[in-house]
Amino acid sequence: MRILTGFLLTLLLIPAFIAVVTLTFNEVGKAESFNDILDKKIHLNRTMLSETSRIAASNGEIVNEIFHPMNRSYVSESEIPDFIKEVFITSEDQNFEKHPGFDLPAISRALAINIHAKGIEQGASTITQQLARNQYLNHHQSYNRKLSEVLYAYQLERTFSKAEILEQYLNAIFFQNNAYGIQAAADVYFQKKPAELSRAEQAFLAAIPNNPSYYDPLNHFERTKKRQERLLDQLVEQKRIQLGDAEKLKTEPIVLKVKPRKNFYPDYTAFVLSELRELVTKQENINDPAKITMRIDELLKSGITIHTGLDVELQKRTASAVAEHLPYQDIQGAAAVVNHETGLIVALAGGKNYHSGDFNRAYQAFRQPGSSIKPLLVYAPYLERTGSSTNSKINAGSICVKGYCPKNYGGSNYGTVTLERAFTHSYNTPAVRILQQVGVDKAFSDLAPFQFEKVSSQDHVLAAAAGGFTTGMSPLEMTNAYTVFSNTGFYQKPRSIVKVTDRSGQLLFKWNDKPVQVWSPSTAGKVRELMQKTVSSGTAKKAAIVGQSAGGKTGTTNDFKDFWFIGFNGPLTAGVWVGKDLPQSMENINGQSPHLLIWRDIMN
């Protein structure tokens, strides 16, 4: 009885409230009109519905759908079939074309039915009221909310046309299974656009929103089908279709073709989202972490498309190579591949058998680089400053500086050797001598353009010549830096994001990085030559690719805790790291050189 009394009270209050307010504020010359009051109190813009954002590969393929938090793609009124509009109007709001936002006769009918049933059997919300409740209010059952709903609905009708209200409504309503709006529903259940749906499929989808969990097509298909048939009967009763047409539509088979959420290549797309944060931070000059989080949230809810440099086939090959050559239970690996001609990151393997949400070793793992740092910190700075040739001589004998006494692999002393031999066989003692000659701080100044995140002044020591860093570098950082040798000494930080567009395809963001000349073309060419010799006759012979002029540099840290190889082939530069998450010796697999085999398979 209390519920029915409240329902009756709402029925009486709505017209009474409007009448009182109208009469009160229509006194000549004394006050504003009721409509003026609503204009001041209720500000309506076109509802900003949360939409699905997407990440696209270089070929345009959508590889990731970002539901933040819901799956919705807005479609215009012209893209929604007329038939499904008729179904919703017939089932939800038969006086939609006539009422001002609320339907007093419908409220009266619902009241009579509910009194007779001694409970709430039928509601009386119009399509406009439902839109007001979904977008501006909430679903809390109270009479204050109901009254606000009516006022918002009335204001919606004054602000938008009937066609615009129906468009917003059909984009707002919930179709279960995280599908919001008719476009998402058509895609999730039939993998079609709304305009491609048959009339039977349209009526089937229209059966869901009345009670989405009860009419969930995946769990209660028969319930949904029966309601579809009742809706078709209603269309006949309202003379919107012929009986024969309805019967034919009822017999048309409904075959669900459920589309799973797209979340391919999560190791790559995880980095894309990280880079998006950096891009927006820089271009909008936002320094507050909380504000940038809110801004990213806002963007991901607006239906953006993030266009990337992802090469789908290369990504598959990269992930496969890491998994294939690391069958050992506790040994992990990561790889990064950059097209140094376009400046785009084209593939990332975040770990062996990487899954969404995992720690991404490609850009989150920082490890000591071993000898892979030598081209960047030792040889390029030396060649740049001295103009030496690769045949110049250097002492590869023992050395001690203030208690630091590095050793060559196996403890050997080689006497005087060429730079080429010292480089290709990765001798440590000549590298330390070269760094000492250049000057530690000067050599580290050459690293500044590469923006190594964890490198600090504490690393400015001679031990860095052999890879002795406090924290180290990530595989992606090292790969990015090596692109300088394939770009005649110029460096422009490689990026995964090409551009970001809004739902209408308008450009929102793109990188505007400018290349910086780190070393001369002559120096870059000499280091490339040394790296090619390393692959053809040095420590990286297992990475040799038949008929190719590949080049690169190996790196192994103390006690075989990390294996590195970074190198180039054709337009690609790739870096591979192999190690254990908790650093431990991998001497038992040193002879197998998994890092070289992974790199070879990626680049071949």
Residue type, 325: H
Residue 350 placed within a domain:
no
Given a cut of 80, is residue 18 above it in pLDDT?
no
108 vs 179, more confident: 179
On whether both 129 and 203 belong to a single domain, the answer is: no
Q: What's the domain range around 419?
A: 373-470
Count other Cβ atoms within 10 Å, centred on residue 409.
12
Per cent of the chain over pLDDT 70 is 87
CB 388 within 8 A of CB 531: no
pLDDT of res. 144 = 54
C-alpha to C-alpha distance for 151 and 43, rounded to whole angstroms: 12
Average pLDDT over residues 63-75: 93
Average pLDDT over residues 376-395: 97
CB 457 within 8 A of CB 315: no
Count other Cβ atoms within 10 Å, centred on residue 463.
16
Domain-terminating residue out of 407, 438, 470? 470
Q: Which of 510, 482, 478 is nearest to 496 (CA)?
A: 510
Please tell me whether residue 478 adopts helix, strand or coil conformation.
helix
Instruction: Please report the DSSP string for 177-240 in residue order.
Output: TTBBHHHHHHHHHHSS-GGGS-HHHHHHHHTSTTSTTTT-TTT-HHHHHHHHHHHHHHHHHTTS
CB 426 within 8 A of CB 554: yes
On whether both 124 and 33 belong to a single domain, the answer is: yes
Domain-terminating residue out of 236, 264, 292? 264
On whether both 391 and 422 belong to a single domain, the answer is: yes
On whether both 82 and 146 belong to a single domain, the answer is: yes
Residues whose CB is less than 8 angstroms from the CB of residue 225 and which lie 6 or more positions away in sequence, other chains included: 204, 207, 254
Per cent of the chain over pLDDT 90 is 79
477-506 confidence digits (pLDDT tens): 999 999 999 999 999 999 999 999 999 999
C-alpha to C-alpha distance for 485 and 520, rounded to whole angstroms: 10
On whether both 87 and 194 belong to a single domain, the answer is: no
> What is the number of structural domains in the chain?
3
Indicate which CATH number applies to the domain containing 422. 3.40.710.10
CA atoms within a 13 Å half-sphere pointing along the CA-CB vector of 90: 22
272-282 confidence digits (pLDDT tens): 999 999 999 99
Residue 475 placed within a domain:
no
What does the mean pLDDT of the chain come to?
90
Q: Which of 168, 186, 262, 174 is nearest to 215 (CA)?
A: 174
pLDDT of res. 230 = 97
Q: Which of 303, 320, 313, 279 is nearest to 55 (CA)?
A: 303
197: left (phi over 0), alpha (psi -120 to 50) or beta: beta
Average pLDDT over residues 552-580: 97
Residue 230 placed within a domain:
yes
On whether both 155 and 181 belong to a single domain, the answer is: no
On whether both 388 and 456 belong to a single domain, the answer is: yes
Instruction: Please report the DSSP string for 115-131 in residue order.
Output: HHHTS-------HHHHH
Given a cut of 80, is residue 98 above it in pLDDT?
yes
On whether both 1 and 95 belong to a single domain, the answer is: yes
Indicate which CATH number applies to the domain containing 182. 1.10.3810.10
On whether both 36 and 162 belong to a single domain, the answer is: yes
On whether both 121 and 192 belong to a single domain, the answer is: no
Q: Which helix (H) or strand (E) holds 66?
A: strand 62-66
Residue 594 placed within a domain:
no
- 86-90, 123-127, 175-179, 514-518: least confident range: 123-127
On whether both 19 and 103 belong to a single domain, the answer is: yes
106-136 confidence digits (pLDDT tens): 666 655 554 554 444 345 689 998 998 878 7
Q: Which phi and psi angles does 400 have, rounded to 5°?
A: -135, 130
Which pair of structure tokens corresponds to residue 527? 């280091």
C-alpha to C-alpha distance for 472 and 376, rounded to whole angstroms: 14
Average pLDDT over residues 552-579: 97
On whether both 380 and 439 belong to a single domain, the answer is: yes
176: left (phi over 0), alpha (psi -120 to 50) or beta: left
Residues whose CB is less than 8 angstroms from the CB of residue 301 and which lie 6 or more positions away in sequence, other chains included: 50, 51, 53, 68
224-264 confidence digits (pLDDT tens): 999 999 999 999 999 999 999 999 999 999 999 999 999 99
pLDDT of res. 42 = 63
Question: Which residues have a catalytic role annotated?
Answer: 92, 371
pLDDT of res. 167 = 96
Average pLDDT over residues 11-28: 46
Domain-terminating residue out of 213, 243, 264? 264
pLDDT of res. 132 = 87
Tell me whether strands 305-308 and 53-56 are parallel, antiparallel or unpaired.
parallel
